């Protein structure tokens, strides 16, 4: 007897196959699958019908990043993860030194001092709007590398800031450059890893960067106590410079259309046949129309694709809560527990532990769930047997359920233990649970987007990042006043309620209605 959920997904596949989908959505059809995505083709001898169309030689073409050796895939994933680690460390590295910064730059307002942190996150909101689509036009590598050069320059400027205006402005500009790794990184993971492998690769990609906001204050506390808060920026600039140099030696282009464009260029030169082209070049032959289409893609996705809007709201609340915790966490330990600045940073280890557990659990389990549901769908629908894996983003949803439940549980434990001034282990346990839940949710969300938008992953993640980073910018601004009025117990009860209202229903919505919501956007060309 066929399971109801299996039948629903089986029917959902048929429902989607009847929808006319523009090529920009890149949804493979049964029996006729796009060669450029590494899927099996039905054409004779694996050759395209148009002799001038340049594509992969076959499904196992080694030029296709999805067919790279595992070593090369892991190197690229590690490099982009380390880039993101450095930039996300910058978002919180100064949090233990905020009193020193306020004294040094004559800042008296709580909102202004929080803005020195939030301005960086605001830059994260603006950068993806043009950096992500540019990576789909010129390739991932060049955009990531030069964006990080921009980040290094403005990090150095931040270290030399003499006024609060200079610091806030420099932080904003640094955030714009740092956002490239956050937004384009998900696209890179989607470029090189096949669907059944993405869980484990995302475990690394999500874990290392999430350690940034946790270890940033730990490192920043020791730097501020032993040198100066300015050296927090200089240290990150040095670390990022080393990564940039390393990337020039090891970072290969991962975006399929860009790889094919270079292949076509080489073939034109070698053969003298200037009629050779790629599918993407034919669709957008002129520069200005291509720029217009490319740069407007994240905004168009955000305003016209309901599934992106839903995921953006989910991501915004999650990211906002994360930055409320990160920006107020040091103050708890210095004011309530009377720890030194460097000692208070040690408590961020609990956040790192939560992130690590969440990422290492989510990675392999999401892969197993994906493979299990794929197998079940093939059994309940024999027409799927023998085909390459059909990508169903909803197969990433089940693990969101425990993640959504862990977030409010962790917030409540952390808040009431802090308000009751229990042993220091109490708030740390709560914050670790919260961090694990946040990581699981982020992991599933990223995997969902990669599966749903295989060729426009960077733009789709950029659209979501806009909402996430505006929340990351705005939420910490009211956090000090909230905790001042409600204290940690009732303050965290309030935001735990938000987590329950927005986070807990999300897996149910995506599981039951995700396919239909995505299908409604199928005719909207991006």
Contact call for residues 482 and 345 (beta carbons, < 8 A): no
Q: Is residue 37 part of a domain?
A: no
Is residue 379 included in any domain, yes or no?
yes
> What's the pLDDT score for residue 286?
62
Percent of the chain predicted with pLDDT > 90: 29
Q: Is 45 left (phi over 0), alpha (psi -120 to 50) or beta?
A: left
pLDDT for res 390:
64
3-state secondary structure of 284: coil
pLDDT in tens, 269-285: 888 888 888 877 655 55
CA 32, CA 480: separation in Å to the nearest integer? 56
CA distance linking residue 334 with residue 343, whole number of Å: 9
| Span of 14-23, 111-120, 159-168 with lowest mean pLDDT | 14-23
Kindly state whether residue 267 falls inside one of the protein's structural domains.
no
221 vs 77, more confident: 77
Structure letter (DSSP) for residue 392:
-
Higher pLDDT, 23 or 402: 402
Position 189 scores a pLDDT of 87
pLDDT, the chain, mean: 81
Q: Is the pLDDT assigned to residue 258 strictly greater than 50?
A: yes
In a domain, 289, yes or no: no
Listing DSSP states for 255-274 in one string gives: -HHHHHHHHHHHHHHHH--T
For residue 84, CA distances in Å to 185, 230, 325, 499 come to 8, 21, 20, 26
pLDDT of residue 379: 59
CATH at residue 512: 1.20.1250.20
Least confident of 8-17, 86-95, 304-313: 8-17
Q: What is the pLDDT of residue 15?
A: 32
- What is the total count of domains within the chain? 1
277 in any annotated domain: no
Q: Are 257 and 36 in contact (CB under 8 A)?
A: yes
pLDDT above 50: residue 144? yes
Measured CA to CA, the distance from residue 476 to residue 482 in angstroms comes to: 10
- Model confidence at 522: pLDDT above 70: no
Q: Is residue 76 part of a domain?
A: yes
pLDDT cut 70: percent of the chain above it? 85
pLDDT at 230 over 70: yes
Comparing 48-52, 180-184, 355-359, 385-389, the range with the smallest average pLDDT is 385-389
How confident is residue 435, by pLDDT bands cut at 50, 70 and 90?
Answer: very high
Q: Is the pLDDT of residue 523 over 80?
A: no
| The pLDDT of residue 424 is above 70 | yes
Q: Per-residue pLDDT for 414 more than 90?
A: yes
pLDDT score recorded for residue 326? 78
Range of the domain at 466: 70-254+296-384+393-520
Contact in structure between 80 and 185 (CB atoms under 8 Å): yes
Q: What is the pLDDT of residues 9-45, one digit of tens each?
A: 444 433 333 333 333 333 333 333 333 333 333 333 4
Torsion of CA 2, 5, 10, 12, to 10 degrees: 150
Residue 60 covered by a domain: no
Q: Residue 321 pLDDT > 60, yes or no? A: yes
Contact predicate 89/173, CB 8 Å: no
Segment 501-511 mean pLDDT? 90
What is the pLDDT, as a whole number, of residue 143? 94
Query: 57 by DSSP, 3-state: which?
Result: coil
Collapsed DSSP state (helix, strand, coil) of residue 32: strand
What's the mean pLDDT in 98-124?
85
Give the whole-angstrom CA distance, residue 450 versus residue 202: 10
437 lies in some domain? yes
> Helix H segments across 296-347?
297-304, 306-331, 341-346
């Amino acid at each position: 007897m066929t399971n109801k959920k299996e039948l629903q997904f089986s029917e959902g596949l048929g429902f989607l196959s009847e929808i006319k989908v523009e090529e920009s959505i890149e949804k493979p059809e049964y029996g006729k699958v796009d060669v450029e995505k590494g899927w099996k083709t039905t054409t004779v001898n694996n050759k395209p019908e148009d002799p001038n169309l340049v594509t992969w030689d076959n499904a196992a073409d080694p030029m296709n990043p999805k067919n790279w050796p595992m070593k090369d895939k892991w190197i690229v994933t590690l490099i982009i993860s380390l880039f993101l680690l450095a930039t996300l460390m910058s978002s919180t590295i100064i949090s233990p030194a905020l009193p020193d910064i306020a004294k040094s730059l004559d800042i008296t307002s709580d909102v202004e001092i929080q803005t020195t942190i939030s301005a960086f996150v605001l830059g994260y909101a603006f950068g993806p709007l043009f950096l992500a689509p540019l990576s789909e036009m010129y390739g991932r590598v060049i955009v990531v590398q030069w964006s990080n050069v921009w980040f290094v320059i403005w990090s150095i400027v931040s270290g030399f800031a003499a006024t609060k205006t200079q610091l806030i402005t420099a932080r904003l500009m640094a955030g714009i450059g740092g956002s490239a790794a956050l937004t384009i990184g998900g696209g890179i993971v989607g470029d090189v890893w096949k669907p059944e492998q993405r869980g484990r690769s995302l475990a690394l990609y999500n874990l290392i960067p999430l350690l940034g906001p946790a270890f940033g204050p730990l490192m920043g506390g020791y730097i501020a106590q032993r040198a100066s808060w300015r050296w927090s920026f200089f240290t990150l600039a040095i670390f990022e410079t080393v990564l940039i140099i390393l990337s020039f030696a090891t970072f290969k282009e991962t975006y399929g259309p860009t790889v094919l464009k270079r292949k076509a260029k080489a073939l034109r030169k070698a053969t003298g046949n200037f009629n050779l082209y790629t599918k993407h070049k034919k669709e957008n032959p002129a520069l200005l129309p291509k720029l217009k289409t490319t740069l407007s893609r994240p905004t168009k996705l955000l305003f016209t694709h309901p599934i992106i809007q839903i995921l953006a709201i989910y991501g915004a609340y999650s990211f906002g809560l994360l930055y409320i915790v990160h920006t107020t966490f040091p103050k708890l330990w210095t004011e309530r527990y009377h720890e030194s600045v460097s000692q208070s940073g040690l408590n961020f280890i609990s956040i790192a532990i939560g992130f690590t557990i969440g990422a290492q659990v989510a990675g392999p389990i999401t892969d197993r769930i994906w493979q299990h549901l794929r197998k079940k769908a093939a059994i309940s629908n024999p027409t799927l047997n023998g085909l390459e894996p059909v990508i169903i983003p909803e197969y990433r949803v089940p693990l969101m359920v425990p993640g959504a439940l862990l977030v409010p549980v962790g917030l409540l434990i952390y808040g009431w233990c802090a308000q009751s001034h229990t042993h220091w282990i109490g708030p740390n346990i709560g914050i670790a649970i919260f961090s694990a839940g946040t990581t699981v949710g982020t992991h599933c969300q990223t995997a969902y987007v990669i599966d749903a938008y295989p060729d426009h992953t960077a733009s789709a993640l950029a659209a979501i990042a806009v909402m996430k980073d505006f929340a990351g910018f705005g939420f910490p601004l009211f956090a000090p006043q909230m905790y001042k009025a409600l204290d940690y117990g009732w303050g965290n009860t309030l935001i735990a309620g938000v987590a329950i209202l927005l986070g807990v229903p999300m897996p149910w919505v995506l599981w039951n209605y995700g396919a239909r919501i995505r299908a409604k956007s199928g005719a909207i060309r991006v």
